Amino acid sequence: MVFSGTKSRYLAEKICSSLGCPLGNLVITYFADGEFSVSYEESIRGRDVFLVQSTFPNSDNLMELLLMIDAAKRASARSINAVVPYFGWARQDRKDKPRVSIGAKLVADLLSVAGIDRLITMDLHADQEQGFFDVPVDHLYASTIMLPYLKSLNLPNLCMATPDVGGSKRASTYAKYLDCPLVLCNKTRKKANEVSSMQIIGDVRGMDVVLVDDIVDTAGTITKAADLMMEGGARSVRAVASHCIMSGPADRRVEASSLDEIVFTDSIPYHGTCAKVKQLSVAPMFAETIRRVMENESISSQYLI
């Protein structure tokens, strides 16, 4: 049985359509003070439930998921599987300075204590975050849908790039699969969401550059990298990224940048107006993963890379 929180219902409906099953009946009741409660309006006793909810801001999305898990546990569900296409707080994966929290580990603990038996997610900010959980984690990759799209463009001088060295492994994997060159950008920050300087490592003259990233938040890094590629002689620049946060000035920055387009998955709903933004649905991939979990089949065999 598949259920959804408020803000991920659009994706849950697509997943159910791919699975050929109805979306479960769940009601979230809001109170005057902002508090809310969760109620399953049909029996889930002895059932395997899949709860679809990305935990993007605001925090109500995470709280909804926690209440959904708790309610399912108290309603005697046989297994509780959290389907979290975008795992929020994932960028807080270590202590990068004294006296800060590790938010990704905290959220993992909250989900585990609430009672999940499995997490199905996609493109965590760092692969090692799977180790924050004491339950099985099925970690899917957006490359499964991004690579066929890039192939369909038939770009004559394709070159993969990454807007920072932290994403070099992801971009390198794309480059190997597509058999094309790889260039890197080296950036420095003075503070969060603000790039102070950036340099290209490699030659992009005459190339059709594709920047690869996992998250685009304010779009400062990705647009600066795109403009830098064009200054370096690139013939065209586009970007692919897993999660479409696109907060604050992101729309304006992308629209004014050298990017031909920026392609996301629909792990997070996009409500902006930028004409350069394109979204590809991950619903069939998550639906297939749910089917394989239920039938005890291999998950990894559906990965391209």
- Catalytic residue annotation: 187
Structure tokens at 33: 């003070």
What's the distance, CA 109 to chain centroid?
20
Alpha carbon dihedral 80, 83, 89, 91, in 10-degree steps, equals 130
Is 40 within 8 Å of 61 (Cβ atoms)? no
Residues in the chain: 305
How far apart (Å, rounded) are the C-alpha atoms in residues 17 and 15? 5
